[in-house]
Every structure is written in C-alpha cells, then in structure tokens.
Amino acid sequence: MPEDTLFSKIARGEIPSTEVYSDENFYAFRDINPGAPTHVLVVPRRPIPMITDATEADALLLGRLLLVANKIAEKEGLTKDGFRYVINCGAWGGQTVFHLHVHILGGRPMAWPPG
Ligand code: AMP
C-alpha cells in the first residue's frame, strides 16, 4: 500500500528515528547518514513519491512543507550563517527513498555546485 514507505513507517514510529519536529501533517528527523553537522529530513505524512508527482491539490502541502522546514532551520540555529534545502528527484537526482522529503543541511559552508 502507498502508505508503507520507509518514511511513513518512521513517521508512524514503527521504525526508530531521532525526532526533530512532528505535527499532524509532517514529521522531521535526523538523517541516519548525515552529510553535514546538521542534516534533517522533513517528510509529509501523506506520501508523494517524487516532487514531480505533486499536483495542484498538493499546493498547500508543499508550501507548508517549506514553512515547517524554515521553522526547523531556525530552531536548529542555521539561519544566521545560512544553510541548504535539497529535494532529490529520481535516479540521476540521487533520490533513494521514494517518499518526498526535504533535506535541511547546515552547520558548515556548502560547496556549489553539489556533486
Ligand atoms: P534521498 O537520497 O534524497 O532519497 O534521501 C534519503 C535519505 O534518507 C538519505 O540521506 C539517507 O541517509 C536517509 N535515510 C535512509 N534511511 C534512514 C533511516 N532509517 N533513518 C534516517 N534517515 C534515513
């Protein structure tokens, strides 16, 4: 069933994670393999496989996803020096978990362009 993604199980507490934020629509937790001193993943509880699968009906959810990410970035102390949001999409984009998520990466200067 579509709800049975790795990240749905994490959001439901069926797989352990380090919670950073939780509300009725979103769950955020620390990446198990951090790419920066701060690396948080924000996921909508209702899974959308890829950002390109989002439709007009998801517009509010997508906006709120970024506002929740902003709240977390602020709470994690990232906003003064700056940080990065990443949404990987598909194989060449480096997506490995097909449940839409925003990476919040910070705590060090970020290289550009990314690898
Ligand atoms: P992506 O490659 O954009 O799909 O990102 C998936 C991310 O999920 C990677 O950065 C992984 O390190 C992370 N990840 C995979 N399994 C877990 C887990 N059980 N707990 C926390 N993060 C995970």
Question: Where in the chain are the domains?
Answer: 6-106
The average pLDDT across 90-109 equals: 98
pLDDT band at 64 (very low <50, low <70, confident <90, very high): very high
Single pTM value for the model: 0.97
Q: How far is the CA of 32 from the centre of ligand 1 (A)?
A: 6
Residues with CB under 6 A from ligand 1: 6, 15, 17, 29, 31-33, 41, 88, 94-97
Closest CA to 48 of 103, 91, 7: 7
pLDDT at 1 over 70: no
pLDDT per residue over 13-40, tens digit each? 999 999 999 999 999 999 999 999 999 9
Between residues 1 and 62, which one has the greater pLDDT?
Answer: 62
CB burial of 86-103 (b: ≥16 within 10 Å; e: otherwise) equals bebeeeeeebeeebbbbb
Options 3.30.1490.270, 3.50.50.60, 3.40.50.800, 3.30.428.10; CATH for 6-106 is: 3.30.428.10
- Among 97, 102, 104, the mutation site with the greatest number of ligand 1 atoms within 8 A of its Cβ is 97
Q: Is 101 a catalytic residue?
A: yes
The average pLDDT across 47-64 equals: 98
pLDDT band at 60 (very low <50, low <70, confident <90, very high): very high
pLDDT band at 115 (very low <50, low <70, confident <90, very high): confident
Instruction: Output the pLDDT for position 2.
Output: 53
- Among 32, 50, 51, 52, the mutation site with the greatest number of ligand 1 atoms within 8 A of its Cβ is 32
State phi, psi for 9 to the nearest 5 degrees: -65, -40
